[in-house]
């Protein structure tokens, strides 16, 4: 089956102009053209899935192009491609850790506001917030009693 650039853009949640740019910089080296129009086939989806992940993790276009060139060179570049994937996985793991910290901070803020709303005042939870000059995440107290504050 074939797909237009508009259909693929919709699937990837990008503008068609973005795909045209990707083609221009070499990210789609094997794209077929029918009457001068770019046409994607079922075979292209293996690469499109990888590309979507690379873009979701904010991999720079330059690095994606480098990966594409290595793929085109074939088996002699397997180790280099493997190393690129490992590097990106490490970046993803670090981003996940940072997002987990942010999620914990927002869990605290969720608890903070819910508790304050139930009490009708922030005074019941103000003292729980860290006032130290630190960027450590605030933690929801396990045995918090509003009446203690």
**β partners of residue 34:** 37
Burial of residue 125 (number of CB atoms within 10 Å: 0-12, 13-18, 19+) = buried
State mean pLDDT over 77-84. 98
Residue 133: pLDDT band by 50, 70, 90 thresholds?
confident
pLDDT tens per residue, range 71-80: 999 999 999 9
Mean pLDDT of the chain: 90
Question: For the domain bounded by 1-56, which CATH number is listed?
Answer: 1.10.1660.10
The residues of the chain that CATH labels 1.10.1660.10 are: 1-56
Residue 147: pLDDT band by 50, 70, 90 thresholds?
low
Residue 132 is given by DSSP the state S
């Amino acid at each position: 089956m074939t797909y237009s650039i508009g259909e693929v853009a919709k699937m990837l949640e990008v503008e068609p102009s973005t795909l045209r740019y990707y083609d221009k910089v070499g990210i789609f080296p094997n794209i077929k053209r029918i009457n001068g129009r770019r046409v994607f086939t079922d075979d292209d989806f293996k690469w499109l899935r990888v590309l979507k992940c690379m873009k979701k993790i904010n991999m720079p276009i330059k690095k994606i192009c480098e990966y594409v060139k290595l793929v085109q060179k074939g088996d002699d570049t397997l180790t280099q491609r493997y190393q690129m994937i490992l590097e990106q996985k490490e970046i993803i793991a670090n981003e996940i850790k940072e997002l987990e910290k942010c999620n914990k901070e927002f869990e605290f803020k969720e608890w903070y506001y819910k508790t304050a709303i139930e009490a009708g005042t922030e005074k019941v939870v103000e003292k729980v917030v860290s006032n130290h000059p630190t960027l450590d995440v605030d933690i929801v107290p396990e045995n918090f009693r509003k009446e203690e504050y």
